[in-house]
Structures are given as structure tokens and as C-alpha cells.
Structure 1
């Protein structure tokens, strides 16, 4: 079978944004390397013996809650902070002792930090003038940047005459005008409303592709990281919990922390009673038995947690006919209608809540559920992921 045909029929763990994946190539050299980096502020360890590789032209996201160390990591790469121990390398060069203004990186802040008294084109040209570029080349570069972010007709306006999304694009144009090797973005879309943020996410992705730069973005917004990035590093307490593609993070979390941090999830505790290959029978702590075909990490007798996403759980009035499905009866406890989908919280007899989400692909529902209805929730054996930690 040819590699083309073989690749076409191979199953992917979730959707993929693009085929770009240098981290799968054993011969590929990382572009940015954090090597056993630790950063301590007084008695607080912000980054704890962290190692990470990022590749050239990658759109990489550092994701985590406030205080997890993601912004500190970004600031060390920019040169605004220095590691207490460890090394940071960019394109093979150790960045130790190199001041921020001499590093081939540029940083875009959440506040955008535009000069209010300058026009759009003057803001974009500022860094180029500081570098001593001649006037003709500055004019050419500024025009290229304005065309790139589609703001040519706003060149003479001041920042206060622009919308939030337009100001964001000016800040972006100014950041890439100097053509850095790496663009660092610290919560770049945090000041935008939801609709504009969603639109700008795709603009950033397209721009990164056009420029061919390496983007490293810090965010606490899971949806933002999942939408834009090639890979995500989920951080907690100065350490990396998992590095993977968005689909792998969502469909195959490495731990309960990652599963719970990314999206909504049902975590069902139990003990492995029987194991054969990847198939495992689990006696749950809630009085029912489960079967999973994703039980590879667990051993017989071990306590595990079965992670099941709400969209993989079905809700029905009657017990499913397919005997292979895991089926549990409960009571509809909460309902949230979101337009495109409806969320149901089903309360089991021991009080455990299982969440399911149903896509509203029809305007009418034949037998709608309402509060306190008895209902069956079920999911296929391959829908859950077994976690041992």
C-alpha cells in the first residue's frame, strides 16, 4: 500500500489543523529550548525545573491558570526576567546575558501599549526608526504591514479613533514590522469581546502562516489555545502537566488535572477488576460496572478514573438496546439550553452528577426531557479514557 493511501485511511485522534508536525521528526532540531529552567522570586517558585522544546514556525500556546508560571516563562524568553537556574536557547544560541533589545524576539502585550499621540503608521514605524532603518525602507515596510493587517485606510488615524480589534492589529503590525524570529503574545486577545476575539483568533492564525514566524502565546483561555495553536503546554504550579496537540490534549489527557482543566469532563472513579489487553472492567465507586477499551495504562486492582467528555454521553428515555454500551439510570437534575446544544446534568442514585451535551440539529424535539425525568445515560466502551493519576 502506498504511503499516500495509507495516510488517507489512518485515523486521527480528533481533527488536525495542519499537517505541520516537526516534533514527530526525531531529526528535527528544536528552535526554542528551555533546559531545566527554574525561576524563584523570594520564597516562591514560579517555574520549577522545566524543560520544553518549541519548533520553528510553530504556533505554541502556554496554557494555565493565573500564577502557574506561564507569563514568567514568556518574560524569561523575552529577557525581562532571568532564570535562577537552567538555560534558554534560541536557534542554538544561549540567551544568557543578552538584553531584551538585542534578542531576535518581540513581545505583544495585552494592553497593546500603543503611543496615543502617534498615528497608526507612526506607531508601526517607531521600532524601525529606533533601529536606524532609512526612510525609504521604513515607508516600504510600514506599507507592507498595513496591507498585511488590512489597515491601510486607517494609516493616519490615532489609536483612540480605532476599535479594539483594529488597535490589536496595529500592535501586531508593530510587533512583526522588525521581523523578529519569534513573536511572543501575552494574553493578546483578553481585552476583546467574545465575538471579536473569535474573529481575531483566525486572523492571527492566518497571519502566522503568511509570515512564517514562530508564535508563542500565553493564555488562560482554553478555547483560545485550542483554536489557534499547533501544540499546547498545560501548566500548573510552575511545571508542565502535558504537551500535545489540541486534539490529543482533549481526547487523551495525561491526568485528571489536564482532563478537568480542558473543557468539561465526567470523571468516574473505580477499581480495575479484570484486564485483557486494552480492555478493562471497572467496578465504579458509585455502585455500577463499566467496560472500557482504553484501559491500557491501568493494572488489575488499581484505582483509576474514567474520563468521559459530555458530548460522548447519550441521554435516552429507555435503556439502550446495544448491550455493549455502559448504561446508567438517573434523574434529570439541571438543563441548560445554549441554542446550538443542550446540556443535561443527570443525578445518579448516589448523588453523582454526569453531564451530557446534545447537539440541537433539529428545531423540534419529539420527547423533550424536563427536570426530574428518569433518564438513561450511556456511552460506548471506547468513549472514555482511563487515567491513573
Structure 2
């Protein structure tokens, strides 16, 4: 069976018509005065799903999270959680908990007391609190740090305390607002996998808000890309990356090269496209295109090859000059200036330590790609 890319787990209740959404945003609109933060948005999230809301600042993703938590009320529409309408239900009575970007730990309390705080507020028995706190500390691998204060912990450890406190009350849904933003790159990458494992171990539904595309693609089962209060695409990380439905999604998630042109022919799911500067592109596509239609062709840098030798046929190839070279360790990125002045990016995996006669600055080279390397986007 052919797939767009790797499959993390065989979990896709959204494709099962018999599955009922666990969280349902139905025609939600949220206005702040004249400003519309969320516009007639409908979104369904399923039980035990790790779902990400991805978008830039001001796109409405945090507003959506706060409405589910009960900190904001929708102007129009309704929010259902496990079939129950959340209208009028105060935040403290909702079966959700929220982990904030700032962590919001009490600086004068020990780690144990921070985790126990919500349990005490709920009137849980002291012995049960002690057992629950002990379990949470072991879960986040901080069982040796219970007596410490937050200022005695690293950023990653404080993040784990906040996470332990969030799940100590065993909510049905955990909401995470930019949860890893305060961590350095290496720790953030490590914590992403820890969150994935923890979510599956607990069997909870996670809804994370982030502007970090790599974070969303690493952790989430599905991603909703948002722009100007609307969802512009929902899909698995692979679908969103490999099959964007618009130039916005293609550009927002990862690096992309865009070529604009006109369809000159289409046959058996393969389109021929001519760009304004005479480049001939041939691409597989499922879109119902017509000759003469204006389209864009989007292709990722890693799908491009670079060569000093002109490929045979001249299809899916363009010549240019090496403008910049970036060595990133695992890969090398070439910026190639084409004849029309446009810059394209091509990334080459550094699979070996040494390279004979490497391509250098100012060289005239060819960039080329396969017919299944990119995606055609309608105008």
C-alpha cells in the first residue's frame, strides 16, 4: 500500500463514521468588540487524540483553547465535550485542565505542594493526595525532587512539574498552550517525545496550541492549520506537509519552492505546466485541471536534486547559479539563483562524511525533480 510518508500509529477515528467526536466546536464565532478572533469554525476532535492547533500570532488558536477551558465564551455556536454542551459550565466544573506557557508554579511551594494544590482544593483525602502526588512525580521522573522549590529546578524540570500538576486531577482533556516555548531546542525536542509517550500511557485527549510547525508535526496525530480565525487545512502531519491544499499551508509548514505557470495538458493524472520563463514541469496530480488554467507548483527543498550535468529531456529541470550554501550538519542547503532571478532551495542529505569535488559558490548547476516530487495547487 502506497503512503505519502511514515505512519506513527494506526489510530484514525476521524475516518470511522461510527465514531462520535469527543470535542466538538460547532459553528463557533468569537468577537472582541469589532474584531472577529474566530469565524464560524467547526472542528471535531476524538477521544485519546493528540491534536494540534497550528498558526501564527493572532490566528485564533489560543482563543479557541480558552473557550474550551471556559475562560472565554463563544459569541455564536456551541462547544460539546463528550456530548455535553459546555454553555454556562464554569471552568472549575469542566473535565479539562490547562497547562500554560509560563507554567504558573507557586514559587513559595515545593514541587510536591504545587502538584497537590488542585487536589487539596477539591477536598481529596490527605492519604490519597500523597499517593497521587507520588504517582505523578514518578510519571514525570521527578520523584527525587519533591522537596525542592521551583527556582531550584531547570526549565525542563519546571515544565514537568507543571505537567504533573495539570494531570494530577485526571482530566478528560489536557489543554497545552505553547507548552515548550520556554525550553531550549535540544530539551524541547526531547520533551516532545516524552509528551507523546505520556499521552499514550495516560490515554488522555491532548489539545496543544503552538506556532512551532516542527513541534506540531512531531507530537500530533492531526494538525489544524489556522489563519485569520479560520481553519485552512486539517490533516495528519504527513498529509499537511506532503499534500498542502494552498500556498499558505505549503509556505507555513516547512520550506517550499513555488513555481507559477499554466497547464498545457493533462493526461492520466499527470499535468504538464509551462512557467513564464519557459520551464517545463510535469507532475502527478489528482486535481481536475484544464488546459490554460493558472496554477502553482509547490515542491520541498529535499525533493530537489542538484547536478553539474544537464538532465536528459529537459523536463522538471532548471539551470542556475549557486548563490549561497548552508551546512547544517545533517544536510547541506543550496540557494540557487535561476535565470529569471528567483531563488530556489535544494537540500542534500549528508549521508557520508567526505565528498569528492563538492559543488561550490558561483557554480552553474541544474536543479531537477521527479514527477511525484511536488504538488499542483489550483489558482
Q: Residues 279 and 317 of structure 2 are in contact (CA less than 8 Å); yes or no, is this contact kept in structure 1?
A: no
Offset from partner CA, 1:164-192 (integer Å, 9 cap, x none): 00000000000000000000000000000
Partner of 1:163: 154
Structure 2 segments unaligned to the other structure (5+ residues)? none
Partner of 1:366: 356
Are residues 1:45 and 2:39 paired?
A: no
Offset from partner CA, 1:83-142 (integer Å, 9 cap, x none): 000010000000000000000000000000011111111111100000011111111111
Q: Residues 336 and 343 of structure 1 are in contact (CA less than 8 Å); yes or no, is this contact kept in structure 2?
A: yes
Are residues 1:63 and 2:54 paired?
A: yes
Q: What is the correspondence of 1:254-293 to structure 2 with a 5 Å cutoff?
A: 254-293=245-284
Question: What is the CA-CA distance between 1:299 and the residue it aligns to?
Answer: 2.2
Partner of 1:239: 230
What is the number of residues matched between the two proteins? 379
The CA RMSD measured in Å over matched residues stands at 1.0
Q: Residues 297 and 388 of structure 1 are in contact (CA less than 8 Å); yes or no, is this contact kept in structure 2?
A: no
Question: Does 73-82 or 290-299 show the bigger shift?
Answer: 290-299
Question: What is the CA-CA distance between 1:227 and the residue it aligns to?
Answer: 0.4
TM-score normalized with structure 2 length: 0.98
Secondary structure, in 3 states, of the residue corresponding to 1:227?
A: helix
Query: Matches of 2:8 and 2:358 in 1, distance apart?
Result: 36
Q: What is the correspondence of 1:1-389 to structure 2 with a 5 Å cutoff?
A: 10-294=1-285, 296-321=287-312, 323=313, 326-389=316-379
TM-score normalized with structure 1 length: 0.96
Question: What is the CA-CA distance between 1:282 and the residue it aligns to?
Answer: 0.4
Question: Does 161-170 or 278-287 show the bigger shift?
Answer: 278-287
Partner of 1:5: none
Structure 1 segments unaligned to the other structure (5+ residues)? 1-9
Question: What is the CA-CA distance between 1:157 and the residue it aligns to?
Answer: 0.6
Q: Residues 339 and 360 of structure 1 are in contact (CA less than 8 Å); yes or no, is this contact kept in structure 2?
A: yes
Query: Matches of 2:277 and 2:237 in 1, distance apart?
Result: 31
Query: Matches of 2:3 and 2:372 in 1, distance apart?
Result: 14
